[in-house]
Amino acid sequence: MNRVLFVCTANIHRSRFAEEVFNHFSEKNNKGATAFSAGLRVGDYNFRKIYYPALNNLEKFNILPRRAEELSVHIKNIDLDQYDRLICMDKNEHKPMIQSDSQLSAFKFEYWDITDMPKVDSNISLPKCYKQVEALWNQISSN
């Protein structure tokens, strides 16, 4: 089984979107692969659910979110050893955060280039994220 963890900053936007897209593909294709998501700096967002631009973009792709009512999760509150792939959404933003944390830097993270708002609008970044998740899904499901 493949287990993927998508990581962003607050775990309310990019990583949650990627998680929902990946799990949609897995359910649609009856595969045992699964995804979850977490944030590096949840902070004040630990009381927040998935951000409305992510919900809007999921709707555009006809994806009903499974965890829409769940709150954001901090990366240190989960066991990273249970995941086969750890993917940070934005290399420029997240790699320094990972490298500066001795606990997290012991793990092998992959880095994508999905830039967050306000630098890049959700209607641009999330369709790009969808394509990357789809490519990841195709790679995993072909193995």
**Residue 14 to residue 125: CA distance in whole angstroms:** 8
User: Is 142 part of any domain?
Assistant: no
Distance from the first to the final alpha carbon of the chain: 11
Q: Which residue has the higher pLDDT, 2 or 143?
A: 2
User: Is 91 part of any domain?
Assistant: yes
Reported in sequence order, the residue ranges of 23-121 that DSSP labels E, i.e. its strands, are: 34-39, 85-88, 110-111
Number of domains in the chain: 1
**Residue 31 to residue 47: CA distance in whole angstroms:** 32
The answer, yes or no, to whether residue 143 has pLDDT greater than 80, is no
Domain range enclosing 86 = 3-136
Taking only the tens place, the pLDDT of each residue in 25-83 is 999 887 789 999 999 998 866 678 899 999 999 999 999 999 999 999 999 999 999 99
**Residue 124 to residue 128: CA distance in whole angstroms:** 6
State the CATH number of the domain containing residue 85.
3.40.50.2300
**Residue 98 to residue 62: CA distance in whole angstroms:** 33
Exposure of 91 in the CB half-sphere (CA atoms within 13 A): 4
Please, what sign has the CA dihedral across residues 61, 67, 72, 76?
negative
Q: What does the pLDDT read at residue 44?
A: 66
Q: What does the pLDDT read at residue 29?
A: 84
Average pLDDT, the chain: 93
